Structure 1
Amino acid sequence: MTARRQEGNGLRLGIVVIALLGCGLACSGVDFAARAATSERVVIDRYTGLAISGFDPVAFFTDARAVQGDPAFEVWQGGAIWRFSNPDNRAFFVANPDVYSPRFGGYDPVDIARGVTFAGTARLWLIVGQRLYLFGHEDSRAAFAADPVRYLHDATRRWVVLKETLAQ
């Protein structure tokens, strides 16, 4: 085999390795949009500016479910656009944003307790101690539900440092 053909084989092998790595990442279920949103103090969709993907944060308390917000009922608060399903929920939020917005900015509290930021999703949530928590994984929500005191202790301690590394 000539040296030129050997170099060509090495290049093809490199392309195959890169393609396999890319395919592995694509198939792993990693949500790159969520990771890209982990530089803000509140989880924000980087394309729309919506907090918690446009879900109504008050509805978790009033309806006990995730309800998509309506663009007619929006408010700009904390560097994000928050949407609500009705004007009453909007008014409740404006009066008490700290009560209704997800704790830890919508980041997964189990990951915060481990010292990392991972964006939670409105589809995986719990209310504990009159506060809303969003989770990035079903396993995280289950672990948190089993021992919220432990995770809240660790997450609260680590959040003080972590939030300083995030943009305002």
Structure 2
Amino acid sequence: MRPGIALIGRLACLLAVIWIGCPVPPAQAATTERIVVNRFSGVAIEGFDPVGYFVDGTAEQGTAEFEANLWGAVWRFRNEGNRASFVAHPEVYGPQFGGYDPADIARGVTVAGNPRFFAIVAQRLYLFSREANRDAFAADPERFLYEVGKRWPALQQQLSQ
């Protein structure tokens, strides 16, 4: 075998091992929709159970076994009870502002919230892109919600175009 071909073969094997061993980055959420969804699967809030935030106080993954389609998104739940609660009252259990970060909306931009950074204020779920945004919002939610109220309608219109 020629030395050049052997080298190419070894390099190809090395690249394959590196490629297989690299973690796959999570799919990015779409930011041109009214609800933050995975652009490949259509799953909202990365498959986290929106009712679980209220019931368990933590961010818990839902399963494909318990799904509901609403607002053009697939929502996942941990159990049938959570699914039924969401379907009966999506305005209560769904993330406010479609899952976009209210701290960023207050600044005039739409940034998808991360389901791991959340707050429940006045019995409503808010998701944040960063922990610092969540902490700032939690310190003075009224101020942020006032700013969001001024900016969200125009931003929402842009998302639907």
Shorter-chain TM band: 0.7 to 0.9
Answering whether residue 131 of structure 2 is matched by residue 156 of structure 1, we say no
Q: Which of 23, 27, 39 is residue 32 of structure 2 equivalent to?
A: 39
5 Å-filtered alignment, 1:7-18, equals: none
Question: Structure 1 residue runs of 4+, over 2 Å off?
Answer: none
RMSD (Å), alpha carbons: 1.4
Structure 1 partner of 2:101: 108
**One-letter code aligned to 2:114:** T
Q: Which of 43, 46, 63 is residue 50 of structure 1 equivalent to?
A: 43
Q: Which of 63, 69, 90 is residue 97 of structure 1 equivalent to?
A: 90
CA distance in structure 2 between the partners assigned to 1:98 and 1:125 by the alignment:
17
What TM-score do the two structures reach when normalised by structure 1? Answer: 0.78
Secondary structure of the residue that 1:33 maps to in structure 2? coil
The answer to whether the 8 Å contact 2:27/2:39 transfers is no
% identity of equivalent residues: 57
Answering whether residue 71 of structure 2 is matched by residue 71 of structure 1, we say no
**One-letter code aligned to 1:99:** V
What TM-score do the two structures reach when normalised by structure 2? Answer: 0.81
**One-letter code aligned to 2:154:** V
Q: Which of 79, 103, 109 is residue 86 of structure 1 equivalent to?
A: 79
CA distance in structure 1 between the partners assigned to 2:44 and 2:150 by the alignment:
24
Q: Which runs of 5+ in 2 are unaligned?
A: 1-25
CA distance in structure 1 between the partners assigned to 2:103 and 2:126 by the alignment:
10
**One-letter code aligned to 1:50:** V
**One-letter code aligned to 1:140:** N
Cα distance, 1:32 vs structure 2: 8.4
Count of matched residue pairs? 136
The answer to whether the 8 Å contact 2:102/2:126 transfers is yes
Structure 2 partner of 1:127: 120
Q: Deviations over 1:4-48 (max 9, x none)?
A: xxxxxxxxxxxxxxxxxxxxxxxxxxx9824xx111000001111
